[in-house]
Structures are given as C-alpha cells and as structure tokens.
Structure 1
Amino acid sequence: MRAVDDPVRRVRSRPVEDSVLEAAWLYYVEEWNQSQIAERLQVSRATVVNYLQQARELGHVELRVDPVTFNRQRLSREMRDRFGLASALVVPGPSYSLASVALAAARYCPDLIEPGDVVGISWGETIYEMAERMLPRAIADLTVVQMVGSMPSPYIFTSESCSTNVALKLSGRVVNLYAPAALASAEAAALLRQEPLIRQHFALLDRMQKAIFAVGSMDADSHVVKSGIATPDDVAVYAERGAVGVLCGRFVDGDGRHVVGPVDERMIGITPEKLSGLAAGILVASGENRVRAMRGAMVAGYATHLVTDEPTAQALLQLND
C-alpha cells in the first residue's frame, strides 16, 4: 500500500535547525508575523518565539543598533556636546536599567572593534551581562586582555569571566591576568609585578587600542567591597580624599583623577590614566550612584564612547561642573 503524503508529518519530522532557519528567514527577511509562521510550520506560536531566540543566540541572525540614528537623539547630542564624546548611545525609557544598557552595549560594542585590535576588558556585572548577550561574530586577529586582577568573589562576574566571554563571542584570543586583584601586602604585590608573566601582560596592555569598562559605586554593598578588594574602612579613607567611585578597581574623584589610598600599593591591575589616549574608550554604565564617577571618566578623557540609559544621561546633564 502506498503511504499517504502527510505535510504535517513532513514538517514535524524535519530537523529543528531547518525550522529555526526558516522561521528566522520568514520573520526577519520576508516580514511574516509569528502567527503566520506558526501556521506554516505547524507549530505553536511559543515554539516560533523559541526558534527566533535560537536563531539570535546561534548567530544566524544579528540585530545591530544603528549608532547614527541614536546619535541624533536629543540626549545623545547633548551628552556628546557636553563631554566631547565621539558617540553616546542612550537607551530610551523612564527607568534605570542595567539589563537594557548591557544589551545595547552587546549589540553596539562589536561594531567598534576592528581586526587586529588589542582590547582591554574591565570587570563587573554590567560588563559580564554585556558579554553574555553578545552574539557570535568573528573578528580576525583580535586580542582581548584582562585589565584587573582576579579576586575571590561572591559574584559570577569575575574579571577573568568577563574577558574570556568577550573573546569567545568575538572569536578572539584571550590573555587573562594570572594574579590576584589585591595582595596581602605592598611587598608581595611589588614582587609579583616583577614576574616575567606579569610584566609581559602589562606590556600587552601598553599596546591596547581600545577598552570596554564600567564604573562602580562606593556603597557599603558595592562590588569593590563584596569582592574583598577594599574594606568599608578603606572606602571611607578614599571618600575622605575625594573619591566618588571605582574605575577598573581603582578609586577616582569627580574629575576622573586617580585617588591613591591604602589599597593601591597592594593591587595588580591598570591605573585609570592608562585609559587615556586610546582610539576608543567605551564606558558602559547605568545608575544614580554611578553618575559622578561616570562624569569623571568622561571629563578625564578615558571615555570616548558611552552606552547608558535615559535617566542616567539626564542625571549627568544636571550635574554641576
């Protein structure tokens, strides 16, 4: 007996990868809606949503933010004019949103990186989330370098995970810093800095053309305290000396100047002035408690490109110089 040709059975027996590709093509190229695709593939609308998500995660489809369009936004223009930035991507919306800023940076930052670049990566929740949300893209001869030493941290976003994830997403070579962010004594840190492997690492950082970094707060539950780099007493000393936030593990004042204090001689990592003069310093940050440190990073010239959200941009523009 001849088998009956069942189109529904044919659709359901095809490889999932084929369905993912067809759903992506119909949605993004031919502009079908999700209900039409579900009917075509004989699956639920929820399955179509899952297919489209898979297509993005696998790199079959890449959504890019057009910086030219967003730079025409009023807040973006004002931020660029006020702080002398090459670009300011301001995520629209009434609320502070680290997740939205990280997603915008994930779509935007790879466009600023070119083949052969040496790119420094800092650490923190925002940078980690950005790396997690990046879509796979191969950038030839890319080197990604960890800028801050490692630390025993209660967070998933360690220094080495941030740099490693960016390198994995962009098919680059990762060079992690095999040293603690802060040692027990200044003497131990001084000895470690003389190790050939550590000296080679900092020689590579001297060659970096671009950097992606965030800024941290100085709250009692801030990352710099929770990760063990500084104690609350240390933070109080830095605050008395004019510090308003943390940049690459170092304390900075409202003009971005490095505030030296009790932790610095024990630290392994770059100092803020190393971010000066780069082809691109990309600051990715959100939050009212980070505004003064963000201003400092821009005023000092460390940041040439900014990714933030609307409330943070408004707060920055309202700060008195």
Structure 2
Amino acid sequence: MSTAEVIPESPQVSDIEEVELITRAAWHYYNDGLTQNQIADMLGLSRIKVSRLLEKGRQTGLIELRINSPFEGCLGLQQDLIGAFGLADARVVPAVEGLAAPPRIGRAAASLLMQQLVPNDLLAIGWGEATSTTLRFMAPVFPQSHISLVSLTGGVSAYIGNTGLYGPQNFAHLIPTPLRVSSPELAEMLRIEPYVHHVLEMAITARTALIGVGSVARSASLVRYGYCTNDEIELFTRRGAVGDLLGHFYDRDGAILDLDLHRHLIAVTPDDMRRIPSVVAAAAGPEKVEAILGLLRGKLANTLVTDEETARDLLRRQT
C-alpha cells in the first residue's frame, strides 16, 4: 500500500495559492482516490493543470510518497543487483518467517516469465528444485498460450513429474538420453543422433531460458539424481568449483573448469547458452550464494530471481 504526505511548506513553491492547489489536488488524488479528471472538475482546472500541479508537488518536495510494504526494500535490492552485476532484470521476494523459500521463488519466477513469454513462444528449461517449482506454477499456461518447452539437458526423469509434465506432452521437447553417459565417445555419438541433435539445436533458438543454480553441496541435485558422487563433488571443489550450469562446473569468476565430466554430458554448453537472449536463474539460500556469485560474474545468466536474504549476501560479497 502507498500513502502520500503533503508537507506544510516548501521554499521552492512561493505562491501560496499554488501551494493550496497542489495540496488539495494531492489530497484528493492520493487519499481520496479521485482521478485527475474528477479533481479538475472539482477545482475548476484542466486535467493537464492538475497533472502539472501533482508533478510540481513531487519535484519540489511538497508531496512525499511513502510505500508501506514488505516489498519496498526488495525493489531497492532488485535495482542494486541489476547495477552491481549488469543484469537485464531481477526479482527479489521478501523474507517471511516460517515460509519456505522455494515456493515463493518459484511463484516470482513464474510471474516474471509470464510477462516475458508471448503466445506460441518457446521456453528452454534446465532442471533442479527452483526450476521444477516454477514450472509447476506455470503448467496450466503452456497449452492455453501454445507455449512450447524444450529441455537444455538429457535426464528425462528430472523433467517428467517434477515439473508438472506428467507423461508425454505435445508441447514439450525432451532430450531422450541421460544427462551423463559412460564415455566421451558415447556422448558424442548421442549428440549427433538426429533427434537429440534437433532438440539441442532447438533449445538455443529460444528467446528465454529458465535455469536453476547448482551448488557443490552434498545435497546438490546432481548428487541426488546419481549423476555425480560426493567424492567427485569434493574433487571438483578442490579444483575451484563453486557451482554448475547444466552439469558444467565453474569457478568463483564463472570460468568453466576443464573437467573430464564435461565430455560425458548431453547438454547445451555454456557457450551456446550465451546465444539465448534472456537466461533467468532462480535460486536462493546461503548454500547457493557462492554459486550464484560465480554465475553472475561469468555472465552465465542475465536475470536473477532470489530472496531478500540471498540478495543482501550477494551484494555484500560481490567483490
């Protein structure tokens, strides 16, 4: 909710009659909720004159606006994140005691994506908890708006069910392979299989992508789905890994590490991800801060959806 305060005096507005008009216009506009046309009729002025009075009141300090909302601080944090990391956009949800972050992050990401997507659009999707939660909020929208989905990685089981995509869907194009296979040779053979190649190529034609941010914690999604072991994660961490993008591990500056694992992956590469104009990363939590920092420093995503506490940590540790 927003309120307006009219300051009794302003040294920049010397005409007492104008001060009175600004005060009356502001009171009726902000407190009574009247339109500028209604105020103009009431005061015997033109609508343009009322608009100019309100603008002059704001510019001179005669009118001060105050927003009484838990989102007020979040809006400031969004702008700080955009400025600090050169982002195209950001969404920050307020900290709420007793409520889990993932559903609120998912809802905020879904809202942002629905503003970006248009009918008959294509959305490229990664996987992980935040991505799955977001897609569950959006699932009813896809068939209604004729929006198609395309996966950025193999690993069908990570998409079906967890994302609201129950069984085959004619609007979802999934790579029919595991994310990680046993050898680089097999990975290369699968990547050039016509259908797999087609889906990988389709993914990088999307205007918008939604990704999670993988951490190097023992609870990481790659470990839970059996694509990496805890011992491997520890080794990657010792080599400087702070997070992963579609199974590709990167360091604190967002540089992709030279790991044999990467040659075993069936996934869009980080270089190809840069061809997608809007890459939306959804993530929050203290265990994700270093991973998000690396992602943003490396320009591996240009839009972030997170929560208030994580945003403050990112800004404190950005250097």
TM-score scaled by structure 1? Answer: 0.69
Q: Which of 96, 111, 128 is the equivalent residue of 1:107?
A: 111
* 2:153/2:179 contact within 8 Å kept: yes
Structure 1 equivalent of residue 83 of structure 2: 81
Deviation at 1:149, TM superposition (A): 0.8
Are positions 1:128 and 2:126 aligned together? no
Identity in percent: 27
Q: How does 1:1-321 map to 2 (within 5 A)?
A: 73-93=75-95, 97-134=101-138, 136-137=140-141, 140-150=145-155, 158-161=158-161, 165=165, 173-321=171-319
Q: Distance in 2 between matches of 1:237 and 1:150?
A: 23
The 1:86–1:70 alpha-carbon spacing in structure 2 relative to 1, beyond 3 Å, is: farther
Q: Which amino acid aligns with 1:165?
A: L
Deviation at 1:222, TM superposition (A): 1.7
Q: Distance in 1 between matches of 2:282 and 2:72?
A: 16
Tell me the secondary structure at the aligned position of residue 242 of structure 1.
coil
* 2:127/2:211 contact within 8 Å kept: yes
Deviation at 1:247, TM superposition (A): 1.5
The 1:107–1:201 alpha-carbon spacing in structure 2 relative to 1, beyond 3 Å, is: same
The 1:311–1:247 alpha-carbon spacing in structure 2 relative to 1, beyond 3 Å, is: same
Structure 1 equivalent of residue 14 of structure 2: none
When structure 1 is superposed on structure 2, of 108-117 and 204-213 the one drifting more is: 108-117
Q: Distance in 1 between matches of 2:74 and 2:184?
A: 48
Q: Distance in 1 between matches of 2:138 and 2:204?
A: 26
Q: Distance in 1 between matches of 2:314 and 2:286?
A: 9
Q: Distance in 2 between matches of 1:162 and 1:273?
A: 27
Post-superposition CA distance 1:108-154 (Å, at most 9, x none): 221111234322100011111111223633565532101111166xx
Q: Distance in 2 between matches of 1:143 and 1:135?
A: 11
Q: Distance in 2 between matches of 1:306 and 1:136?
A: 23
Post-superposition CA distance 1:221-276 (Å, at most 9, x none): 32111211112222122212211012212212122222231311111111222221
Q: Which amino acid aligns with 1:145?
A: V
Q: Distance in 2 between matches of 1:119 and 1:308?
A: 20
Q: Distance in 2 between matches of 1:249 and 1:71?
A: 34
Deviation at 1:71, TM superposition (A): 9.8
The 1:233–1:162 alpha-carbon spacing in structure 2 relative to 1, beyond 3 Å, is: same
When structure 1 is superposed on structure 2, of 134-143 and 213-222 the one drifting more is: 134-143
Post-superposition CA distance 1:265-319 (Å, at most 9, x none): 1111112222214221111111111112212222222322221100000010011
Q: Distance in 2 between matches of 1:143 and 1:70?
A: 35
Q: Distance in 2 between matches of 1:193 and 1:164?
A: 26
The 1:151–1:166 alpha-carbon spacing in structure 2 relative to 1, beyond 3 Å, is: closer
Unaligned regions of 5+ residues in structure 1, if any? 1-68, 153-157
Structure 2 equivalent of residue 60 of structure 1: none
TM-score scaled by structure 2? Answer: 0.69
Tell me the secondary structure at the aligned position of residue 73 of structure 1.
helix
Q: Which amino acid aligns with 1:284?
A: A
Q: Distance in 1 between matches of 2:207 and 2:166?
A: 16
* 1:70/1:76 contact within 8 Å kept: no
Unaligned regions of 5+ residues in structure 2, if any? 1-70
Q: Distance in 2 between matches of 1:250 and 1:115?
A: 32
Q: Which amino acid aligns with 2:82?
A: R
* 2:156/2:174 contact within 8 Å kept: no
Root-mean-square deviation (CA, aligned residues, Å) is 2.7
Larger Rg computed on CA atoms: 2
Structure 1 equivalent of residue 7 of structure 2: none
Q: Distance in 2 between matches of 1:276 and 1:70?
A: 32
